[in-house]
Copies of this chain bind each other. A is one copy, B any other.
Amino acid sequence: MALIGAGRMARAHASNAADLAQIRLAAVYDPVPDRAAELAASLGARSAASLEELLDDPAIDAVLITTPTPTHAAVIASAAAAGKAIFVEKPIADSLDAADEAVRAVEAAGVPCQVGFQRRHDPAYRAARQRIAAGELGRIEGFRGVGRDPQPPAFAFLLTSGGLLVDMGIHDLDSARFLVGEVTTVQAIGAALIEPRLAQHGLFDTAVATLQFENGALGTLEVALRTAYGYDIRAEVLGEHGRIHIETDIQHHLRMYTRDGVCHDRPQSFVERFKEAYVAELRAFAQAVLGGLPVTPDARDARASLRLALAAQRSLETGRSVRVADVG
């Protein structure tokens, strides 16, 4: 397997891949050669001189794409044309047109293409989906998604990330689709409370939204780029017979009892919260590729999550309710 992109997510995936017997990382490509070389060296892999050279290597069965989102579709298309199995970070693309190009490319080439919505492979989210499918909640009537990062990324990244609900909210919106079903309408409001300079660019660091689902359920979404107290990811699903609540509120299961009360730590990063899920998604990808099984979520599925995220972002930017069907 080869890494295309050698940034933070590449390193995180590489570290997880190192734990998996099914995956060997043989090569790294990045437009910044030094970055590729450094990561390759740390992995005992070679640094590819160009994307073409890497894709021409017949020893490479699969690629793991972590380049900036605007490049995803083109890299997917190249990798698909080269017959490689593809794992690409979310979102699949930065526009529906680009996503369509990616979907067409992988479907034409008949290669598997899994998109990095790691929560789909988290034990709690998987168990939730199974319980819902088994009818334990009865009819589903509500959803709540919370996604809050501890600290905002670099300002420069925010300017090109595609927007709060596309870059970050897409995880929670994908969870909404995974657990409840398709969303028909979204209404979002936002603010630039944490990084006020964003306002000058029409961008937001904090948003809340309401969601109307096809099956009648209603939902809320809360997204922000800073918490001060750690990584805050929650999902709730309400049904006729009860509620499922997913939240990792404690990290190391040590509680301190002092005159200040009872205190425990929290996950501070996506790595701490979703370590197991990140490993599981790579394992699932490797097993699917090796076993000729379908990957999940695939490009078409990820395109639907992108469309929902674009609808939410449009609502955020226009202040209007947006029908998902009207996007793209």
Contact = CB atoms under 8 A, between A and B. Distances in A.
Interface of A: 18-21, 123-124, 127-128, 131, 136, 138-139, 141-142, 144, 185, 187-191, 193-194, 206-212, 216-220, 222, 224, 226-230, 232, 238-250, 252-266, 319, 321
A80 B248 CA distance: 44
B238 A244 contact: no
Given A190-B218, A220-B220, 4 more contacts: A127-B254, A142-B208, A241-B259, A262-B263
A262 B264 contact: yes
Q: How many copies does the complex hold?
A: 4
A217 B253 CA distance: 24
B141 A228 contact: no
Given A208-B218, A220-B220, A246 B253 contact: yes
A124 B245 contact: no
B228 A241 contact: yes
A296 B102 CA distance: 52
A253 B250 CA distance: 9
A185 B189 CA distance: 10
20 contacts: A19-B20, A131-B256, A187-B189, A208-B211, A210-B210, A220-B220, A228-B243, A229-B258, A242-B256, A242-B259, A244-B257, A246-B254, A246-B255, A249-B253, A250-B262, A261-B265, A262-B263, A262-B264, A263-B263, A319-B321
Given A142-B224, A206-B141, A238-B224, A262 B258 contact: no
Contact of A252 (B127, B218, B232, B321): B127
Question: What 7 A-B pairs come out closest when comparing CB atoms?
Answer: A19-B19, A242-B258, A229-B257, A243-B257, A124-B254, A263-B263, A248-B253
Contacts of A260: 263
A252 to B, nearest CB: 5
A148 to B, nearest CB: 8
A228 B253 contact: no
Given A206-B141, A252-B123, A264 B261 contact: yes
Given A216-B191, A218-B189, A261-B265, A206 B142 contact: yes
Nearest to A218: B208
A262 B249 contact: yes
A283 to B, nearest CB: 11
Nearest to A251: B123
Contacts of A256: 131, 136, 242-244
